[in-house]
């Protein structure tokens, strides 16, 4: 207690400027006695959310993304690590410090929106100003709430019961309510997952434009990779309680750092590697079941470029397909012979699954290629778009 | 501008009910409010522990005190003498035998009736379902004491209209004052609660399963046996366990229908030991019977919980997209309909009609057209002008209103603390109230009686408050579970969305949680209100000249003075008030569903 008091008086540690949230070494187990062998729901998660940026936690269900968000909100309490928010420490396990959710400068849009059915639309929106941390009085409450409802296109519904709103309108109301709390950080927990596909795409754009307009930092949780890529400045890919990679959407797609990321974001051919040796210009020559593959994208550290195991990753759109009778079929270093297993015509392209040796490779070919199952084709990988992943 | 306040105490324990603050109070004020919140929590824990655990301890304690005529506290040392005496007496064998027959018999009656009704209403094309189903549930609105008296009037061997009719038509003598009579009445009384558990299971039955069997040519009988019954078994067995517990502790039926012929079951035996018509009470025997009864009830309840634990998970599944196809009864449609109508008329309508008829009659007589001319209101005027009646009505009003209000308030606090884990041990406290569920109300009544004789602080012995304390303890488990069920159905996001705006826990509770729970709270209040009104054994065991309630008055008029018309008038009064309460519970329920 005394320790904490001193810490309190001494003031919070200096936070780096320009960062709305800093999460450092967060760990949480749902087991009662979190011993060494305990399974962690999140295990050593560190990241930060710069001011005004849109950051997404992406991962399959059970990867710990929602738990992380709830720890940031203060709705759950981690066993280890530290969270800073707007320059103040709001959670520090080593000091036993935990700021309650109502005292953190946040707003949240829960998965189910949390629209109160016993209030009108206006009452819902005005709740943060009437009862929240930045309380206001008098006419201003109604005026600001109406302004915000107008922004989200709900001004005509203000006096209706909240239950009369459709799914998309509820989502907008939840967003308006969150913004009316004047938060430093907006937390969104899969807010689009309860909507149908068309509405989801529309609201996705709205969400992003609101966030940019109000210049508010957002931490967004989703399991939908296309949502994450479309919305975010930065994507944090999580798996089994750990962070796999933190990068911008393009880099994440082009330069996945692990086979998990490659497979989770978009589709990828992952060829198991027997052993590797350094190639020219920092590239890697990987020996796979279909022969040696030259990978232009490779780990930065030279030590990682030679060894055993790992995967060659190549996206289907980066596999060049040629009918085997177009030229002399030759099994060289850069060409792989295979036989078409399935072929699906998708209008703009032909999606082929080609068996070469004991691996199946997916490739997107020109729609006019006309390959049928059973045809022989030859495949080629472009070294510049082929990655070697150590894990 | 966003000043972040730091809080040193663990998060789990920092959500006390505290007054809403002005913005940013100084740390000292905040600590004060925290302390106040903790104080409220501690006070509630002590209160609930007192209501739940003390009666149990007192019961065990007095069962180990070898007393025959003294109060348990006047005996020194502990012994198993009481239990030895109980098991050695030949009387115990007959009481245990009666109890077993009574419980199993009424279970069978209730099971057969409610299964048939549920199947007919939910799965067949029997005509008039909209009207028949609520009729089958009507006994729910009848307090059990009133029900027992109505049956005593309708089927007593001397002049009960049903008994007379049966004797004239079939030449058979029937006597409601018998074990068979008790079984019949308890069975019919148990139908509504059982029906309510079983009917949803029948409704959920995927019709396609039954259709598949019909398509391969299995006759109706086989479809029932092979497809329908196995699928509804979980619901049926859960309902059966609960009925066993209710029958075991039920007092009014065995007392009103069994005592005249000295047919004892556990619950009536206990009351007989505590309040014998002559001589001194035998508290030792009463306590040991109480412990035995409690043990059996708890075992049944634990089995029930095991059975229903998994069932809850499937309750949310909606029957969306089900095509309700019903089995066609064909040429049996009308005969089956008639049989159901006869059951409803004889089993439910006739006793109530006789009760009402008697309440308007100058003396006990069969229902007849010729009697219409001499109907009178004099019984009601007798009731209202009887000396002391004003006090009795006042007592009753105080008891039911305060019990319903206090029990609902504590239940709400308990369920909210437990499901939001407001403080360490809140879940345990919630679970602990389950023990009271297993305490038969006669036993709870005299455990509270001992408590206030032995430890008269606060001095409420002989006042309405002692009855209120006992009734609150009794309805706490059911009440808190009603509120908890409603809480579980609330989406967490609704509360969390309010929390993260920065609203104080007290504000969140007041503006979001309580309004969302209000339908459940209202339902809980009305349910407890109706139950408390008809609850006989507790009021009876704790009665004294100053705290008589309507139901005790009814009991004493019916059993000692034998003035049946006046008793009927009183019973009709109870029936009317109880029906209004139960009706408004169900009307609310129906409105929410639509």
Q: How far B479 CA lies from chain A's nearest CA (Å)? A: 23
Measure the CA–CA gap between B548 and B389, rounded to whole angstroms: 9
Which among B3, B11, B497 is the top mutation candidate for probing chain A, defined by the most A β-carbons within 10 Å of its own β-carbon? B497
CB contact under 8 A, A85 and B14: no
- B253-301 residue pLDDT tens: 999 999 888 899 988 988 888 888 877 888 888 888 888 888 888 888 8
Element (H, E) at B373: none
Which residues, other chains included, contact B36 with Cβ-Cβ below 8 Å and sequence gap of 6+? Answer: B16, B18, B19
User: Looking up tokens 């296309």, which residue turns up?
Assistant: A226
| Topology classification of domain B37-66+377-594 | MetI-like fold (1.10.3720)
Which of A96, A103, A106 has its CB closest to that of B5?
A103
Nearest to B500 among A88, A106, A113 (CB): A106
Cα nearest neighbour of A111 on chain B: B493
- CB burial string A92-113: b at 16+ within 10 A, e below: bbeeebbbbbbbbbbbbbbbbb
State how far residue A118 is from chain B, nearest Cα, in angstroms.
7
Burial class (CB in 10 A: 0-12, 13-18, 19+), B563: middle
Q: How far is A55 from chain B (nearest CA, A)?
A: 19
Give dist(CA A356, CA A366) in Å, integer. Answer: 20
Residue B398: its pLDDT value, please? 93
d(CA A199, CA B33): 46
- What ipTM does this complex have? 0.77
- Subunit contact A74:B11, Cβ cutoff 8 A: yes
- The closest CB to that of A4, out of B8, B15, B494, belongs to B8
Of the candidates A205, A99, A196, A119, the residue with the CA atom closest to the CA atom of residue A162:
A119
How does residue A81 score in pLDDT terms, banded at 50, 70 and 90? very high
pLDDT higher than 90, residue A124: yes
**Closest Cα of chain A to B299: distance in Å?**
30
B8 contacts chain A (CB < 8 A):
yes
Give me the residue spans of the domains in chain A.
2-105+184-239, 268-391
Q: How much is the pLDDT for B135?
A: 85
Where do the structural domains in chain B lie, given as residue ranges?
37-66+377-594, 96-271+329-359
Residue reference for tokens 């069994």: B258
| pLDDT single digits (tens) B407-450 | 999 999 988 888 776 677 778 888 888 788 878 888 888 888 88
Determine if residue A374 is left, alpha or beta; phi over 0 gives left, psi from -120 to 50 gives alpha, anything else beta: left
Interface test with B, best of A107, A116, A126 (most B CBs within 10 A): A116
Annotation: CATH topology of A268-391 = OB fold (Dihydrolipoamide Acetyltransferase, E2P) (2.40.50)
Which of A97, A132, A133 lies closest to B8 in CB terms?
A97
Residue of A nearest to B10 (CA): A98
Best interface-test mutation with A: which of B1, B3, B4 has the largest number of A CBs within 10 A?
B4
pLDDT of residue A347: 84
pLDDT of residue A348: 85
Interface of B with A in 512-531 (CB under 8 A): 512, 515-516, 518
> Does the pLDDT of residue A136 top 70, yes or no?
yes
d(CA B384, CA B569): 10
pLDDT over 70 percentage in chain A:
90
Task: Compare all CA atoms of chain A with the CA of B502 and give the residue at the minimum distance.
Answer: A102
> Which two tokens mark A73?
């909100």
State pLDDT tens for residues A333-388.
567 888 899 988 888 888 999 998 888 999 998 888 878 888 888 888 888 888 88
CATH topology of domain B96-271+329-359: MetI-like fold (1.10.3720)
The answer on pLDDT for A233 being more than 80 is: yes
- CB A131 to CB B8 under 8 A? no
What's the Cα-to-Cα distance from A303 to each of A276, A292, A298, rounded to whole Å?
A: 11, 19, 11
B7/A98 CB distance under 8 A? yes
Phi, psi of B428 (to 5 degrees): -60, -40
Contact call for B8 and A100, based on CB within 8 A: no
In Å, how far from its chain's centre is CA B508? 33
Per-residue pLDDT at A3: 38
Q: Which residues contact B577 (CB under 8 A, 6 or more apart)?
A: B533
> Between chains, do B10 and A77 touch, taking CB under 8 Å as contact?
yes
Average pLDDT over residues A305-334: 74
Q: How far is it, in rounded angstroms, from Cα B330 to Cα B339? A: 15
Q: Do A107 and B5 count as a contact with CB atoms less than 8 A apart?
A: no
How far apart are the CA of B412 and the nearest CA of chain A, in angstroms? 19
In angstroms, the separation between the Cα of residue A321 and the nearest Cα of chain B is: 47
Secondary structure (DSSP) of A275-298: EEEE-GGG-EEEEETTEEEEESB-
Query: How high is the pLDDT of residue A89?
Result: 92
**CATH H-level, domain A2-105+184-239: superfamily:** P-loop containing nucleotide triphosphate hydrolases (3.40.50.300)
Between B501, B507, B518, which is nearest A181 by CB?
B501
Q: Do domains B37-66+377-594 and B96-271+329-359 have the same CATH topology?
A: yes
Q: Would you give per-residue pLDDT tens digits along chain B (594 residues)?
A: 444 444 433 433 333 333 333 334 444 445 555 667 778 888 888 888 888 888 888 888 888 877 666 666 677 777 787 888 888 888 888 999 999 999 999 999 999 999 899 888 888 888 888 888 888 888 888 899 999 999 999 888 887 888 888 888 888 888 889 999 999 999 999 998 888 888 888 777 766 666 777 777 777 788 777 776 777 787 888 888 889 988 998 899 999 999 888 899 988 988 888 888 877 888 888 888 888 888 888 888 888 877 766 554 444 333 444 455 677 787 888 899 999 999 999 888 999 999 999 999 888 777 777 777 778 888 888 888 888 888 999 999 999 999 999 999 999 998 888 877 667 777 888 888 878 887 888 888 888 888 888 777 788 888 899 999 999 999 998 898 888 888 888 888 888 889 888 888 888 989 999 999 988 898 899 889 988 998 898 999 888 888 899 999 999 888 887 788 889 999 999 999 998 888 887 765 555 444
Among A21-30, A87-96, A372-381, B83-92, where is mean pLDDT lowest? Answer: B83-92
pLDDT of residue B594: 40
């Amino acid at each position: 207690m005394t320790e904490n008091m001193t810490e309190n008086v001494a003031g919070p540690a200096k936070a780096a400027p320009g960062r709305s949230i800093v999460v450092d070494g967060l760990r949480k187990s749902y087991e009662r006695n979190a011993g060494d062998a305990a399974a962690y729901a999140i295990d050593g998660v560190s990241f930060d959310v710069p001011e005004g940026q849109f950051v997404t936690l992406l991962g399959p269900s059970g990867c710990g993304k929602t738990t992380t968000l709830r720890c940031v909100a203060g709705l759950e309490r981690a066993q280890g690590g530290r969270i800073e928010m707007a320059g103040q420490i709001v959670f520090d396990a080593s000091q036993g410090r935990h700021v309650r959710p109502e005292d953190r400068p946040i707003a949240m849009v829960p998965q189910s929106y949390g629209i109160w059915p016993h209030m009108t639309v206006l009452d819902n929106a005005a709740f943060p100003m009437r009862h929240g941390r930045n309380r206001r009085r008098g006419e201003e409450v109604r005026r600001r709430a109406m302004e915000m409802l107008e922004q989200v296109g709900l001004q005509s519904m203000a006096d209706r019961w909240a239950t009369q709103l459709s799914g998309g309108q509820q989502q907008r109301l939840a967003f308006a309510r969150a913004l009316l709390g004047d938060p430093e950080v907006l937390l969104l927990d899969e807010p689009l997952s309860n909507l149908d596909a068309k509405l989801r795409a529309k609201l996705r754009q709205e969400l992003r434009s609101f966030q940019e307009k109000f210049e508010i930092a957002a931490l967004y949780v989703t399991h939908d990779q296309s949502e994450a890529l479309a919305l975010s400045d930065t994507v944090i890919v999580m798996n089994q309680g750990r962070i796999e990679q933190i990068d911008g959407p393009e880099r994440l797609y082009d330069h996945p750092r692990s086979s998990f990321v490659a497979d989770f974001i978009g589709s990828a051919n992952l060829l198991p590697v027997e052993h590797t040796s350094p190639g020219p210009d920092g590239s890697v020559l990987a020996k796979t079941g279909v022969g040696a593959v030259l990978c232009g994208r490779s780990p930065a550290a030279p030590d990682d470029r030679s060894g055993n195991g790992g995967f060659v990753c190549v996206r289907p759109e980066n596999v060049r397909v040629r009918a085997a009778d177009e030229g002399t079929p030759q099994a060289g270093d850069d060409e792989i012979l295979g036989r078409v297993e399935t072929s699906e015509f998708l209008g703009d392209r032909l999606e082929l699954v080609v068996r070469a040796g004991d691996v199946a490779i997916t490739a997107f070919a020109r729609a006019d290629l006309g390959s049928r199952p059973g045809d022989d084709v030859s495949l080629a990988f472009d070294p510049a778009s082929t990655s070697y992943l150590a894990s | 501008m966003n000043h972040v306040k730091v809080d040193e105490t663990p998060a789990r324990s920092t959500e006390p009910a505290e007054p809403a603050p002005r913005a940013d109070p100084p740390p000292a004020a905040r600590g004060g409010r925290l302390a106040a919140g903790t104080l409220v929590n501690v006070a509630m824990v002590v209160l609930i522990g007192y209501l739940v655990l003390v009666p149990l301890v007192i019961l065990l304690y007095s069962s180990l005190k070898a007393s025959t005529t003294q109060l348990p506290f006047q005996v020194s040392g502990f012994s198993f003498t009481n239990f030895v005496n109980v098991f050695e007496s030949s009387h115990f064998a007959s009481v245990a035998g009666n109890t077993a027959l009574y419980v199993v018999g009424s279970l069978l009656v209730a099971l057969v009736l409610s299964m048939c009704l549920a199947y007919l209403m939910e799965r067949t094309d029997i005509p008039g379902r909209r009207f028949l189903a609520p009729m089958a549930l009507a006994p729910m609105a009848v307090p059990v004491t009133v029900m027992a008296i109505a049956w005593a009037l309708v089927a007593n061997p001397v002049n009960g209209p049903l008994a007379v009719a049966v004797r004239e038509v079939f030449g058979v003598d029937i006597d409601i004052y018998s074990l068979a009579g008790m079984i019949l009445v308890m069975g019919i009384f148990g139908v509504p609660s059982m029906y309510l558990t079983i009917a949803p299971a029948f409704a959920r039955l995927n019709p396609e399963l039954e259709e598949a069997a019909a398509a391969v040519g299995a006759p109706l009988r086989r479809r029932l046996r092979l497809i329908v019954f196995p699928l509804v078994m979980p619901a049926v067995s859960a309902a059966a366990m609960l009925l066993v517990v209710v029958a075991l502790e039920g007092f009014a039926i065995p007392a009103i229908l069994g005592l005249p012929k000295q047919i004892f079951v556990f619950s009536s035996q206990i009351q007989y030991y505590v309040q014998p018509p002559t001589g001194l009470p035998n508290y030792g025997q009463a306590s040991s019977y109480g412990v035995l009864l409690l043990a059996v009830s708890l075992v049944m309840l634990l089995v029930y919980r095991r059975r229903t634990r998994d069932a809850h998970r499937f309750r949310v599944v909606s029957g969306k997209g089900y095509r309700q196809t019903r089995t066609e009864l064909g040429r049996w449609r009308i005969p089956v309909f008639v049989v159901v109508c006869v059951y409803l008329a004889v089993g439910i309508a006739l006793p109530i009609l006789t009760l009402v008829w008697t309440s308007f009659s100058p003396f006990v007589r069969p229902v007849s057209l010729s009697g219409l001319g001499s109907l009178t209101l004099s019984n009601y005027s007798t009731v209202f002008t009887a000396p002391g009646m004003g006090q009795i009505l006042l007592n009753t009003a105080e008891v039911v209103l305060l019990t319903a209000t206090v029990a609902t308030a504590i239940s709400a606090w308990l369920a909210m603390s437990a499901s939001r884990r407001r403080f360490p041990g809140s879940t345990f406290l919630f679970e602990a109230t389950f023990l009271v569920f297993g305490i038969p109300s006669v036993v709870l009544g005299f455990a509270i009686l001992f408590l206030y004789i032995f430890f008269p602080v606060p001095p409420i012995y002989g006042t309405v408050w002692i009855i209120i304390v006992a009734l609150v303890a009794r309805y706490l488990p059911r009440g808190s579970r009603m509120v908890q069920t409603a809480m579980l159905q609330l989406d967490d996001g609704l509360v969390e969305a309010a929390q993260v705006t920065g609203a104080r826990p007290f504000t969140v509770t007041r503006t979001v949680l309580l309004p969302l729970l209000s339908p459940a709270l209202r339902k809980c209040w009305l349910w407890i209100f109706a139950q408390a009104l008809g609850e006989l054994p507790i009021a009876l065991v704790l009665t004294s000249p100053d705290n008589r309630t309507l139901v005790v008055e009814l009991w004493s008029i019916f059993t000692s003075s034998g003035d049946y018309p006046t008793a009927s008038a009183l019973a009709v009064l109870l029936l009317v008030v109880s029906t209004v309460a139960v009706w408004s519970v169900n009307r609310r329920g129906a409105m929410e569903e639509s």
